[in-house]
Amino acid sequence: MGLLRRLARVRLATQVVRRLRKSGFKAVRYDARTFQVRFAPTVHQEPEIVDLAPLAELRRKQIRAYIAGLIANPIPPTWQQAKPLLRPVIRGATPGAPLRRPAFPYLFEYVVIDHPEAMTYVTGEQIKTWDVRADDVFAAARSNLEGATLKSAPTAVVRFVDNGDAYWTSHLLLRHWLERLAPQVDGPPMAFAPERGTLLLTSADSPHLPALFAQAEELYARSARPITPMAYVSDAEGCTVPYTVDPGHPLHHTVQRAGAILAVQEYARQAAHLTEPAAELELIGDDDTGWHTRAVWDEKSLLPTADEVRIGDRTMPWRELAPRLEPVAGLNPFRWRKS
């Protein structure tokens, strides 16, 4: 991240923190690594979480309006009030205690409260106050999505741009939603969700796939709100799953690369919040030899799952090392230590 961008993020966070404190919140903390602010009336209460990334492109007046929305629209005290405001979102691992469950490899489903001017994450502590089960919260959030389909003429590529209310990328969580868009792309639908405001849709048979993988990777790399560079399709039960191909397929290396990039980035995000030393995951290879991940390990730090592991001057495949490892409790994506 460049110096100017870091300074811009600090200025934005400072503005948000200052305004929340002026509004009477005693416990306000900025997390630079996740680009989030956590705030609560007192240090003894479960904090709300505000994601700063959506504010990065707003003007100062718009930011003030967003913060005013946070203050004017607190978390509803009852389940009946909260239920219609819930929406699901797809994100990587987020520190703290937001309610979440696995959605796709390296990605999770969270639930947010969608106010007109603001969005905050639901926490595990909050659902105790509402006296509801986590499954009920996730189900209610999904049911509040529009589930819209398009009725225009088929086209090679459809780009859904989110205005802040549509939650297009979240629609991938809805069973059968993606497959119902087959008439729109004249084939089995394939989706890319490179960042929170963009969903790209095409046919899995499209000749444009190499270009779309490249476009998705570029959007993912430069976005302040990335989700995934991978492609997703529907399985036989109508559930969204990662797109995979066998070795020898023309897109095999391309699909490998997208999956490896996501793994590298999510493990890096995780490492930034661990208290123990954590081995890094690297992207190895090119379009000729294929792409895979490699971890360089000193046998003491927490080891990420990798295609291969380098220990000293020796590199071994994961399957050879795995019998000597045990998982570290409480971590997802998983990390390992010597058994």
Rounded Cα–Cα distance for residues 41 and 47 (Å): 8
Q: What is the DSSP letter of 74?
A: P
Assess if residue 250 is contained within a domain. Answer: no
Which of 12-16, 153-157, 287-291 ranks highest by mean pLDDT?
A: 12-16
Q: How far apart are CA 305 and CA 282, in angstroms?
A: 11
φ, ψ of residue 141 in degrees (nearest 5): -65, -45
Query: Would you place residue 148 in the very low, low, confident or very high pLDDT band (cuts 50, 70, 90)?
Result: low
Query: pLDDT at residue 323 above 70?
Result: yes
Is the same domain home to 169 and 200? yes
Higher pLDDT, 231 or 156: 231
Cα–Cα distance measured from residue 249 to residue 255, given in angstroms and rounded to the nearest whole number:
10
Please report whether residue 248 resides in a domain.
Answer: no
Most confident of 3-12, 16-25, 258-267, 286-295: 258-267
- Confidence class of residue 288 from pLDDT cuts 50, 70 and 90? confident
**Span 225-237, mean pLDDT?**
96
Both tokens of 94, joined, read 């987020």
Confidence class for position 241, pLDDT limits 50, 70, 90? very high
Write down the pLDDT at residue 2. Answer: 62
Strand 290-296 to strand 308-311: parallel, antiparallel, or no bridges (unpaired)?
parallel
% pLDDT > 90, the chain? 59
Q: Domain boundary at 114, 144, 174, which?
A: 144
Q: Are residue 213 and residue 263 in the same domain, yes or no?
A: no
Residue 213 lies in a domain: yes
Residue 226 and residue 268 in one domain: no
Answer yes or no: is pLDDT of 26 > 90: no
Residues 121 and 90 reside in one and the same domain:
yes
In the structure encoding, which two tokens stand for residue 238, read together? 């109508």
> DSSP H helical segments within 186-332, as ranges?
209-222, 252-271, 318-321
Per-residue pLDDT, 200: 94
The torsion angles phi and psi of 125, rounded to 5 degrees, stand at -70, -35
pLDDT attached to residue 150: 62
Specify the pLDDT at position 8: 82
Provide the mean pLDDT of the chain. Answer: 88
CB 297 within 8 A of CB 310: yes
**Which residue has better confidence, 322 or 286?**
322
Domain of residue 168, residue span: 157-243
Interaxial angle between packed helices 252-271 and 209-222, expressed in degrees from 0 to 180 and rounded to the nearest 10: 10
Mark which of 33, 56, 72 sits at the end of a domain. Answer: 72
pLDDT digit string (tens) for 200-214?
999 999 999 999 999
CA dihedral sign, ordered 125, 131, 135, 141 = negative
Residues pairing with 98 in the sheet: 123
Eight-class DSSP state of 94: -
- 198 membership: H or E segment, kind and range: strand 198-203
Query: Which region among 62-66, 110-114, 183-187, 258-262 has the lowest average model confidence (pLDDT)?
Result: 62-66
**pLDDT for the residue 246:** 94
Q: What local confidence, expressed as pLDDT, does residue 142 receive?
A: 96
In a domain, 330, yes or no: yes
Do residues 111 and 33 both lie within one domain? Answer: no
Residues 287 and 311 in one domain: yes
Q: Using N-to-C axis directions, what is the helix angle for 3-22 and 60-72, rounded to 10°? A: 40
Q: Which residues contact 59 (CB under 8 A, 6 or more apart)?
A: none
Find how far residue 120's CA is from the centre of its chain. 15
Give the pLDDT band of residue 136 (cuts 50, 70, 90).
very high
Q: Which residue has the higher pLDDT, 83 or 164?
A: 83
pLDDT at 7 exceeding the cut of 80 = yes
Longest dimension (CA), the chain: 61
251 lies in a domain?
no
Identify whether residues 113 and 186 lie together within a single domain. no
What integer pLDDT is reported at residue 154 of this predicted model? 64
Q: Do 20 and 47 have their domain in common?
A: yes
For residue 95, the number of C-alpha atoms closer than 13 Å in the C-beta half-sphere is: 19
| Mean pLDDT confidence for 309-332 | 95
Q: What's the CA gap between 102 and 109, in Å, rounded?
A: 6
Asked whether residue 29 is assigned to any structural domain, the reply reads yes
Domain termination residue (choose one: 55, 72, 89): 72
138 plus 166 within the same structural domain: no
Which tokens hold the place of 30?
A: 């900025």
Q: What is the pTM of this model?
A: 0.83
Total domains present in the chain: 4
Are 39 and 25 spatial neighbours (Cβ–Cβ below 8 Å)?
yes
Could you give phi then psi for residue 180, rounded to 5 degrees? -70, -10
Residue 200 within any structural domain of the chain: yes
Q: What is the pLDDT of residue 153?
A: 58
pLDDT grade for 157, boundaries at 50, 70 and 90: confident
- Tens-place pLDDT, residues 98-116: 899 999 999 999 999 987 6
Say what percent of the chain tops pLDDT 70.
92
The reply to whether 163 falls in a domain is yes
The one-letter amino acid at 255? V
By C-alpha distance, which of 199, 137, 190, 200 is closest to 166? 199
The verdict on 121 and 177 lying in the same domain is no
Q: What is the side-by-side strand order in the sheet with 189-195? A: 157-161, 198-203, 189-195, 231-234, 240-242
CA distance 293 to 266: 13
